Amino acid sequence: MEILYSPFHFFVFITLLSTAAELSRSADMITRFQPVRDNETLVSAGAKFQLGFFSAGNSSNRYVGIWFYNIPVKTVVWVANRDDPIKGLSGVLRITRGGNLVIVDGTGRAVWSTDTANVTSGTVAAQLLDSGNLVLTDESNNGSRNILWQSFDHPFDTLLAGMKLGWDLRIGLNRYLTSWRNSDDPSTGDITYKVELKGLPQKFLRRNASVIERSGPWEGIQFSGLPLNPNAIIKPEFVNTAKESYYTYQLNNNSNITRAVLNYSGTLQRWLWDNNTHWTVIHELPNDHCDEYAKCGPNAVCTIGDAPICSCLTGYTTRSPQEWAMNSWSSGCVKKKPLNCPKGEGFKKLKGVKVPDMLSYWVNLSTSLDGCRAKCLKNCTCTAYSNADIANKGSGCLLWYGDLLDIRKLVQPNHNQNVFIRVMASDIGNYKWKLWLVAPVIAASLSLAMLLLICFWRRRTKKRLGKTSEVQAGSGDNLELPTLDLEVITKATNSFSSLNKIGEGGFGPVYKGLMSDGVQIAVKRLSQNSRQGCDEFKNEVLLIVRLQHRNLVKLLGCCINGEERMLVYEYMPNGSLDSLIFGNRGGNCLVWRRRFNIIVGVARGLLYLHRDSRLRIIHRDLKASNVLLDSEMNPKISDFGMARACGGDQSGEQTTRVVGTYGYMPPEYAIDGIFSTKSDVFSFGVLVLEIISGRRNKEFHHHDHNFNLLGHVSFYSKILLRVLTLLK
């Protein structure tokens, strides 16, 4: 039989052959015969990350990068050829015969390479992992694969879970973050974030050589400037051995998507992908003015909440009172008088602070604290001492010579970390002889006080247990809260008709109802699939029934029938605040005077919860959708399912179960689970910005940056402050 060949048959053959080759390639692998061209991508096995060519911002330059695969907003976490982009779409990422992973342009010029040693084996391959790490490997004789190079060893501006920030001392590898040049240019910027090993390891945020923020030294358990608290999102770790010294973190919940990003503006931000819709900033460095390096100058301590925030150490006075009077503290403090060295001086304990920077120091990990004190006293230039390692009840010695720089008071004091400042004996006070006189009196008084407290506590506990059992038994009379029959509520809501449904929250659906006496009500019905449960239901009942204020929603009654749990509130004709300020009708009815009145009303309600109610209440979920408006547009705070009550002498608590809404949470609550009345004040501040701007905090976008509304205001406030400072 005669076989006919034609150009058409040859074209079909070549097409099928190339298609088969493409299909045979693993979606997450590059080999010598399977490169990645500009129009192709790799996707990790679990569809977490994607690799390919991209352009940054408005630029037409082409880069090879890695970004999140399952996020609609392209979020680049690593760039290979950041300083040598490709012009046009001719770029190829491939593996050479020598085993190098390279990027070549249309002329064949290599613009980037892994620069690995020559590997003659034909089994070299690059794979994109679900961690976001691109690894170049070679197959060994036993069939396992050896890592020749990995992108995690060459970070960009982003730190992902499992990445290492710091040193591999065996090969001298230093892994650190470097910012973009600007939003259109990923080339090497001016901002760096590094672990530095001078003395004890510290993390430094710098602009070129100038320090922006310092973590404080690693002290065996934590960095001196960071509080030791359980973290709701990540589990941080620092490894410090003779071979390695690095910081890393893992996710507490693998379903969370988070990243730490170094911005070209000079901040380090932790972002969380929120509700599969947008990125939310949950932490930022510098976090406050006291995080700014050497804010108060030498020999001074910075304390957030004090006015002014800077104060001189004991035994020191301001170097320039005129500058301090103008809130310019960089000149710092000097000794009031020279020390009477080597006798006639002692030490003043400074508790709960970030220890000074190690400008001139001596460190020894085997010297005891007593030995540390003795060594400091022998040297007239020694100004302070401390433990070098606070693990295992403290050990090691750290001495400072000369000025003490960058000390701040911590919001959450560290475990056993104290700094002992060298001062004159007159600054300590001659109190030792008095101690022997008053010690017996103090001991007896304390014993009596403890006995009285125990008796009071036992009596109060019995009363509380009695009340609790009554509540659990369903006694509505003790709470002075009417209970309504299910039939009455069913009739009022037309059998929970969809036409009566006016909203949906974490608790469940909300229905409008009309009682037989003509009173309009709002019914919150606990859903079987609710994120909240019976605990939140009881919590809301027990708290709000005791609260009476014109700016808090009024609870009319409740219904408990079998599996049904319902709360009955006064009906708010104008609905929730978010439907007005973010909806289509907000601009017509929310004039500036009315917006102002709403802000004042919410503030009054919050003040009542924090100061004037019988129990100090922390709401924990203050947001626009939880502010309701009555017929006269008076605001009323609602939804107390997440609220917590504190005693009169308590200002806050800590929890490992973070609840609420990202975008309204302060960083210390979102990350560390620490909440207080300040948490509500933070949420109130975000709410005020939303009321004024008519924009949601977490959905705000600006072409100049990636900040949310809060970050946007903070960013431009800092710029304005700098301009005013220069003008001044």
**How far is residue 367 from each of residues 28, 180, 389, 419, 465, measured CA to CA in Å?**
52, 44, 11, 16, 52
DSSP secondary structure letter of residue 612: I
Query: Using 50, 70 and 90 to split pLDDT, how confident is the model at 535?
Result: low
pLDDT tens digits for range 116-167: 876 656 689 999 999 999 999 988 766 678 899 999 999 999 999 999 999 9
Residue 582 confidence (pLDDT): 81
Residue 454 confidence (pLDDT): 73
**How far is residue 247 from each of residues 166, 171, 284, 416, measured CA to CA in Å?**
6, 17, 17, 22
Query: Using 50, 70 and 90 to split pLDDT, how confident is the model at 355?
Result: very high
Q: Which of 63-67, 227-231, 369-373, 573-577 has the lowest mean pLDDT?
A: 227-231
The better pLDDT of the pair 473, 45 is held by 45
Greatest mean pLDDT range, 27-36, 141-150, 708-717 = 27-36
Alpha helices in 253-409 (DSSP H): 321-325, 369-377
The better pLDDT of the pair 657, 214 is held by 214
Mean pLDDT to the nearest integer, 74-89: 95
Asked whether the beta carbons of 138 and 121 are under 8 A apart, the reply is yes
User: Does the N-terminal peptide bond of residue 286 adopt cis geometry, omega within 30 degrees of 0?
Assistant: yes
pLDDT at 483 over 50: yes
The pTM assigned to this predicted structure is 0.66
Mean pLDDT to the nearest integer, 294-310: 92
Phi/psi for 294 (5° steps) reads: 50, 40
Asked whether the beta carbons of 419 and 357 are under 8 A apart, the reply is no
pLDDT at 327 over 90: no
Task: Give me the helix-helix angle, 709-727 and 677-693, nearest 10°.
Answer: 90
% of the chain residues with pLDDT over 70:
81
Beta-strand ranges (E) seen in 170-315 are 173-175, 177-178, 191-196, 202-207, 210-217, 234-240, 244-251, 258-262, 268-274, 278-285, 300-302, 310-312
pLDDT tens digits for range 558-568: 888 877 888 99
pLDDT at 480 over 80: no
Residue 639 confidence (pLDDT): 86
Query: Using 50, 70 and 90 to split pLDDT, how confident is the model at 588?
Result: low
pLDDT tens digits for range 46-60: 999 999 999 998 899
Max CA distance (Å), the chain? 122
Residue 654 confidence (pLDDT): 64
Mean pLDDT to the nearest integer, 105-124: 84
Residue 346 confidence (pLDDT): 87
pLDDT at 194 over 90: yes
DSSP secondary structure letter of residue 357: P
pLDDT at 430 over 70: no
Backbone region of residue 310 per phi and psi (left: phi > 0; alpha: psi in -120 to 50; beta: other values): beta
- Closest of 644, 653, 533 to residue 230, by C-alpha: 653
**CA atoms of 617 and 612, how far apart (whole Å):** 10
Query: Using 50, 70 and 90 to split pLDDT, how confident is the model at 400?
Result: very high
pLDDT at 75 over 70: yes
685 Cβ contact partners less than 8 Å away, ≥ 6 residues apart? 710
- Closest of 352, 410, 412 to residue 386, by C-alpha: 352
pLDDT at 231 over 70: no
pLDDT at 33 over 60: yes
Residue 584 confidence (pLDDT): 58
**CA atoms of 195 and 178, how far apart (whole Å):** 13
**CA atoms of 633 and 598, how far apart (whole Å):** 8
Q: Which residues are marked as active site?
A: 621
Q: How many helices (H) and strands (E) does the chain have?
A: 14, 46
Greatest mean pLDDT range, 207-216, 275-284, 668-677 = 207-216
Phi/psi for 321 (5° steps) reads: -55, -30
Query: Using 50, 70 and 90 to split pLDDT, how confident is the model at 79?
Result: very high
466 Cβ contact partners less than 8 Å away, ≥ 6 residues apart? none
Mean pLDDT to the nearest integer, 434-458: 63
Query: Using 50, 70 and 90 to split pLDDT, how confident is the model at 475?
Result: very low
**What is the four-CA torsion angle of 78, 208, 363, 361, rounded to 10 degrees?**
-170
Residue 258 confidence (pLDDT): 95
Query: Using 50, 70 and 90 to split pLDDT, how confident is the model at 276?
Result: confident
Query: Using 50, 70 and 90 to split pLDDT, how confident is the model at 202?
Result: very high
Query: Using 50, 70 and 90 to split pLDDT, how confident is the model at 7?
Result: low
The better pLDDT of the pair 621, 441 is held by 621
Q: Which of 238-242, 657-661, 700-704 has the lowest mean pLDDT?
A: 700-704
**CA atoms of 410 and 417, how far apart (whole Å):** 11
Q: Taking the CA atoms of the chain, what radius of gyration do you get in angstroms?
A: 32
Residue 472 confidence (pLDDT): 40
Query: Using 50, 70 and 90 to split pLDDT, how confident is the model at 444?
Result: low
Asked whether the beta carbons of 290 and 215 are under 8 A apart, the reply is no
